[in-house]
Chains A and B, each alone.
Chain A
Amino acid sequence: QKEVEQDPGPLSVPEGAIVSLNCTYSNSAFQYFMWYRQYSRKGPELLMYTYSSGNKEDGRFTAQVDKSSKYISLFIRDSQPSDSATYLCAMTLNSGGYQKVTFGIGTKLQVIP
């Protein structure tokens, strides 16, 4: 079993739809939970990170963490064609003095105009 599971998609939605992206994990020692957006041939861009269970909102994006279920989600409201990208979930734990990151495989999202 992988430490972080993420559906690779692709996921196609019409413009304006609410998008739900999810990851599950098995290691209860993970401390920080992050979502990155990666456009084709570019580096990942940090969208949101959170430490505790609950919701965190930033504009059209909401990150949700449920530590009891080992499940994290990213919701995108009023999706736009410019949101078309690969979304990577990532989780960290402290390992030898640095934050070791484990990435999901990424979900490819396409928002159709």
Chain B
Amino acid sequence: DTEVTQTPKHLVMGMTNKKSLKCEQHMGHRAMYWYKQKAKKPPELMFVYSYEKLSINESVPSRFSPECPNSSLLNLHLHALQPEDSALYLCASTQGAGYTFGSGTRLTVV
């Protein structure tokens, strides 16, 4: 299995909702990442998990809450988002150089 699987593919949520994004990989990669990508921009790093521990938080607002339940799973919990948080949310994993990205969750906040 050489894939990173993200669910759901699309999500529309209101500003008062709570939702979660899920990411799964079975490549044995010990580093997992959440990225945010706006249209016509490169991906921007949000969080880094290394060996299931949060190692990097790129000053992300607390309305985004990451969780790594085990070495194969990564979640991103969303609460009280703003319309400007609408974007493609990408999960990636790596063991060394070269990230493997998932297809992303396209999030729309209304």
A residues contacting B by CB (< 8 A) are 8, 31-32, 34, 36, 41-46, 49, 51, 88, 92, 96-101, 103-106
For window 59-110 of chain B, which residues contact chain A by CB distance below 8 Å?
Answer: 88, 90, 92, 94, 96-104, 106
| Given A96-B56, A99-B94, also A106-B101 (CB < 8 A) | no
* Contacting residue for A41 out of B55, B100, B106, CB 8 A: B106
Q: CB of B50 within 8 A of chain A?
A: yes
* Chain A proximity of B16: nearest CB distance (Å): 27
Q: Interface residues of B: mostly helix, strand, loop or mixed?
A: strand
The listed residue with most B CB atoms (<10 A of its CB), out of A45, A98, A105, A106, is A98
Cβ of B45 under 8 Å from chain A: yes
Interface residues of B (CB under 8 A from A): 4, 6, 31, 40-43, 45, 48, 50, 55-56, 88, 90, 92, 94, 96-104, 106
A-B interface contact total, Cβ < 8 Å: 58
The answer for the CA separation of A1 and B47 in the assembled complex, in Å, is: 25
- From A41, A51, A103, B42 is in contact (CB under 8 Å) with A103
